[in-house]
Amino acid sequence: MTYQQPMFKNEELKDKVIVVTGGGSGLGEAMTRYFLQLGAKVVITSRKLEKLTATAEKLQKETGGEVLTVACDVREYKAVENMLAETLKRFGKVDVLVNNAAGNFISPTERLSARAFDIIIDIVLKGSKNCTLAFGKHWIKEKQAVSTVLNIVTTYAWTGSAYVVPSATAKAGVLAMTRSLAVEWAKYGIRMNAIAPGPFPTKGAWDRLLPGELKEKFDIKKKVPLKRVGEHQELANLAAYLVSDYSAYVNGEVITIDGGEWLQGAGEFNMLEAVPQELWDMLEMMIRAKKKE
């Protein structure tokens, strides 16, 4: 399938230095692999250095690219400043920040402790803020001509969602930050965009959100008009475009990649998808008959 293939064929990200938070697993790893294939140097960061090292070794072997690993809890501003310093020490510059690190609890909100709620807000909203602020200050101080931030949010950043309320609240904040800074920092050559993925199976998100039998019980594919989940490569393709210079005029945008999932839940009459053709024949007759009354 075309969408499972790499979209760019040459070294479209050559000489770019890209930081991917949460780059040691899941979608962060998939984006990192493709950025390396396109010639970028990539820094992957998260809390667990062992995991980062294993991913870096694997990806370097696969792609021949260069990966730096830095342990960094994005909740700590000092740790983020240190991660930026390590990046500059190794590569001399940084061009792109991908705010991908996240945490999530699936739970009725009243069952969450105040601390549990805080943990998610701190990783997702405060973590994205910490990285964006540290990198933005650096780019502005250095008068770097071109730089970009890509935030990974979700479609429930604007619809909201029951049972993942801390995550929904935090992602909404990240989206507001994306749009606000897209305007405020454009004069410094900083572009800000976001991707809102629908369901892309990963161990981190899916084993936590739909553990055990829940996965079988809620067949997520059924919620998607295209009747499939996302492939990691198609998300990586979109991310590569948004961090490349080909998207130089795209700023302040959130691009949904979900097979139409959130709209299926939104349209007033979308549930009529379940009506079979024969029933439509009968319904049409009834509706036309009403007009004659």
Token couple for 173: 């904040």
Looking at 89, 115, 143, 290, which residue binds ligand HXC (CB under 6 A)?
115
63 binds, among ligand NAP, ligand HXC, none (CB under 5 to 8 A by kind): none
- Considering only 100, 147, 193, 251, the residue that binds ligand NAP (CB under 6 A) is 100
CB 145 within 8 A of CB 95: no
Q: Does 103 bind ligand HXC (CB under 6 A)?
A: yes
Does position 69 bind ligand HXC by CB under 6 A? no
Instruction: Measure the CA–CA gap between 43 and 45, rounded to whole angstroms.
Output: 7
Q: Does 34 participate in catalysis according to the annotation?
A: no
The answer to the question of residue 119 lying near ligand HXC (CB under 6 A) is yes
Rounded CA-CA distance 290/206 in Å is 48
Residue 130 Cβ vs ligand HXC, minimum distance, rounded to whole Å: 15
Q: Is the dihedral of CA 72, 73, 79, 81 positive or negative?
A: positive
**Residue whose structure tokens are 């507001």:** 176
Q: Return the number of the residue (88 or 255) whose C-beta is nearest ligand HXC.
A: 255
Contact between 75 and ligand NAP by CB under 6 A: the answer reads yes
Please choose, out of 2-10, 24-32, 243-251, 284-292, the segment that lies near ligand NAP by the rule CB under 6 A: 24-32
Q: By CB under 6 A, is residue 256 in contact with ligand NAP?
A: no
126 binds, options ligand HXC, ligand NAP, none, Cβ within 5 to 8 A by partner type: none
How many other C-beta atoms lie within 10 A of the C-beta of residue 47?
16
Q: Where do the H-state alpha helices sit in the chain?
A: 26-37, 49-63, 77-91, 114-121, 127-142, 156-159, 165-184, 203-209, 214-217, 232-243, 261-266, 277-292
Q: Per the residue annotation, which of 3, 34, 77, 156 is the catalytic one?
A: 156
- Secondary structure (3-state) at 250: coil
Asked if 205 interacts with ligand NAP (CB under 6 A), we say: yes
Q: What 3-state DSSP class applies to 103?
A: coil
202 binds ligand NAP (CB under 6 A): yes
3-state secondary structure (DSSP) of residue 257 = strand
Residue nearest to ligand NAP (CB): 204
Catalytic residues: 156
Residues near ligand HXC (CB under 6 A) are 102-105, 107, 111-113, 115-116, 119, 154, 167, 199, 204-205, 208-209
